[in-house]
Amino acid sequence: MAYTVRRPNLTFWEKLYLPNIVAGLAITFNHLKKMLKGETKVVMQYPEEKWDAQLPEYYRGAPTLVTDEHGRERCVSCQLCEFICPPRAIKITPGSLPTDSKFAKVEKAPQAFDIDMSRCIYCGLCEEVCPEQAIYLRKDYAVTGESRADMVHHKAKLYELGGSMPGLVHKWNPDK
C-alpha cells in the first residue's frame, strides 16, 4: 500500500537556505582548522609509520611455504593448491627428495614452487586446501618488483618468508 512521507515543516530561516549553508561552512572550517592545528590525528604516514604490530592473527598477506620443527619442508607437491588457485598464480614442478634422505622413499617435495604475486589475490584458498599445512598466508603485504619476473616468488624466497611452523600437522592429530 502506498503511503505518504510527511515532509518536515521548515521554518523561514531553513527555507531561506543561506543560514544553513553558513552553518555547513562553519563545520568544514572547523575540520580544516583542527587539521591545521594538528588536533585531528587520523592519518598514518605510511612508509614511516606502520600498523604491522597490530595486524590480526588471521591477516592474509603473501602466501609462503613453511618448514616443520626439524627444518624439513612440509610441502609434498600434491599440487592441490595449484589446482584450487583461482587466478592460477601457483606453479609447482613436482620432484623427489634427495636419495640420501631417509624419507626419500616416503615423501615427495617440490622441485620448483613459484607463486606469481602479480596474480595472487590473497584469497587464502591454498592455505585452506593444503593437507600438509605447508602453505600459509603470512603478514607481508608490500610485495613490489620492477618487472613481472621480479614479482614471481620462487621456492627459496617462499621458505625465507615463511620460516618454520612447529607443531603437529592436522592429519596426524586424532583430535582434528
Partner 1 sequence: MDFLNDIPWMLIAASIAKTLFLIFGVVLPIVSYTVYAERRVSALIQDRLGPNRTGFPISLFGFEKDLQLFLGGLGQPIADAVKFLLKEEFTPAHVNKFYFWLAPVLAMVPALSTLAVLPFGNYLFGQKMVVADVNVGILYVFAIASIGVYGIVLAGWSSNSKYPFLGSIRASSQMISYELSLGLSAVPVLLIIGNLNLSQAIQYQIENGWLLLPFTDGNLTLRELLLWIPVLISFIIFTISMFAETNRLPFDLPESETELVAGYHTEYSAMKFALFFLGEYAAMIAGSSVIVVLFLGGWHIPFLPINTLESSTTPAGIALGFLHITAFFAKVVGILLFFIWVRWTLPRFRFDQLMKLGWLYLFEIALVNIFITAAILALVK
Which segment (33-41, 101-109, 136-144, 154-162) binds partner 1 by CB under 8 A?
33-41
CA nearest to 145, candidates 156, 135, 154 = 154
Which C-beta is closer to partner 1: that of 40 or that of 111? 40
Binding track, positions 135-154, relative to partner 1; x by CB under 8 A: --------------------
Considering only residues 1, 2, 43, 149, which one is a binding residue for partner 1 as defined by CB under 8 A?
Answer: 43
Which C-beta is closer to partner 1: that of 41 or that of 176? 41
Dihedral of CA atoms 81, 83, 89, 92 in degrees, nearest 10, equals: 70
Q: Interior CA angle at 60 toward 55 and 61, to 5°?
A: 85
Q: Is 104 in the site for partner 1 (CB under 8 A)?
A: no
Number of residues that this document lists for the chain = 176
Q: Are strands 108-116 and 90-96 parallel, antiparallel or unpaired?
A: antiparallel
Which C-beta is closer to partner 1: that of 33 or that of 154? 33
What are the cell numbers at 25?
561552512
Number of chain residues interacting with partner 1 (CB under 8 A)? 15
Q: Is 35 in the site for partner 1 (CB under 8 A)?
A: yes
Taken in order 22, 28, 31, 37, the sign of the CA dihedral is: negative
Residues that bind partner 1 (CB under 8 A): 18, 21, 24-25, 27-29, 31-32, 34-36, 40, 42-43
